Amino acid sequence: MMPETNLPFSYLISLKPLGLLYASSGRFLSAENLTGKAGEHFPPDSPAFAGLLAAHLPKGDVWHLHTAGPFWHQLTDHLLGGGQASLDIDLMVPAPLTLLQRRRSHADQQREVVERLIWHEESERTGWITASGNDPPDKPLRGGWIPISLWDRITRFDSVSESGPLTIWDDPWKAVPHLHPRLRNDERVSAQQDALFLEYAVALDPAVALAYLSSHKIDDGVYRFGGEGHLVEISTHSVPKPLQVLLGHDHLECFSLITPGVWGTSRLSKREPEDQRPAQQRFGEPAFPFHSKNQGPGILTERPRSWRHHLGHGTPSTVHPEKRAGVRRLSRGRWAMVAGSCYHLPSGHSLKPWAQWSEDWFPREGFSFKRLGTGLALPLHPEGP
């Protein structure tokens, strides 16, 4: 029986775009940046969704708001791998980076897992190796999305041949280019010289909706989301039972992040949490919760991604004092561990469920970033230690 975890999320909120949404444009000079796709940032992170809810909640409820995401799901009932129809939403979450994949065909949007990585610890060799002991495939695919109902199959790779290959899904959206005219500074007409620039919007599969976890809900309906007046249709559902069970799993020894992990300070981002309390207030607890006996965790990850959002209304404008909202500014940029990153704690060390992790492990800008669902972790060994 799973222990009580006081999970802060009560709802799964679906967002169905009514048209296009925007992804971030490129930041670096590269081949991708020349076409506007470098550093593409989609779906919107949890803070963007939290801002949508906060704009429609009573002010007193905003201070207790918890969100997490992004995820997505099919809008209609579909068949699972075992042929049984799913009556509840089968949430798609980021696949662990331990799963090495290959594409079935160039036109297929699904992949199949061909090998998985496990943590191997010996005096001569310590690190992530293939479960079969063979050399890993050449240039395997990683990442993608996996249905939460199939999460327990991640650690039963030896039995895949009996129930078929474990399927991983590609992103259910694509970038759509737009040529926009640049307007003149003094008039709402197109500039005459060098007026066109390329911008990318995102078209989501019509049979798919984005999804976020939330502690609060707002009325179902149509809301602005994603900038430029884009619209989404919101609907509220219960949190899928398989996700509740996994989030309540105790004794986390090896786990995967299903949301970006944001740790460290505003000046120095880190790959794992650090308790922000002074030593005299920790009462003997370690500064690095993932460490034990001066040993750190085994980490499997990729290049970190940017994580930057503005908070609040900024400082009042000195040029236009009548503008009460003031000048909006972005918070200091941070780097986040990508969703799918995997951690293996030192031998004999384990953690409580994510809901019981201390808010002091997370960055704080007026409130703990744990309220934004960062570093949400699911066990890679659901059967327990």
pTM, to two decimals: 0.86
Sheet harboring 377-379: ordered strands across?
298-300, 342-344, 254-257, 377-379
Mean pLDDT per block of 10 residues along the chain (385 residues) reads 68 92 53 52 90 93 96 70 51 96 81 90 82 84 94 68 78 83 76 73 91 97 83 94 93 95 90 89 86 92 85 57 54 85 94 95 91 96 48
Query: What pLDDT score does 162 carry?
Result: 56
Query: What pLDDT score does 326 carry?
Result: 54
Query: What pLDDT score does 40 carry?
Result: 64
- Residue 355, Cα to own-chain centre: how many angstroms? 16
Query: What pLDDT score does 332 carry?
Result: 62
Question: For residues 7 and 332, what is the distance between their CA atoms, to the nearest angstrom?
Answer: 29
Residue 146 lies in a domain: yes
Report the amino acid identity of residue 381.
H
- Residue 333, Cα to own-chain centre: how many angstroms? 17
Residue 190 lies in a domain: yes
The answer for residues whose C-beta is within 8 angstroms of residue 211's C-beta and 6 or more apart is 12, 13, 14, 15, 69, 70, 71, 72, 73, 89, 91
Q: Considering only CA atoms, which of 326, 383, 385 is closest in space to residue 153? A: 383
Contact 5, 353 (CB under 8 A): yes
Question: For residues 206 and 274, what is the distance between their CA atoms, to the nearest angstrom?
Answer: 41
Q: Considering only CA atoms, which of 91, 152, 141 is closest in space to residue 113? A: 141
Query: What pLDDT score does 184 carry?
Result: 77
Report the amino acid identity of residue 378.
L
Query: What pLDDT score does 311 carry?
Result: 64
Q: Supply 366's token pair.
A: 């007026």
Report helix, strand or coil for 121: strand
Residue 39 parent element (H or E): none
Q: Considering only CA atoms, which of 146, 161, 13, 154 is closest in space to residue 80? A: 146
Residue 5 lies in a domain: no
Query: What pLDDT score does 4 carry?
Result: 47
Residue 48 parent element (H or E): helix 46-54
Query: What pLDDT score does 298 carry?
Result: 95
Query: What pLDDT score does 160 carry?
Result: 47
| Domain housing 113 | 11-379
Residue 247 lies in a domain: yes
3-state helix, strand, coil in the chain (%, to 5): 15, 30, 55
Residue 2 lies in a domain: no
Split into its structural domains, the chain has a count of 1
Residue 6 lies in a domain: no
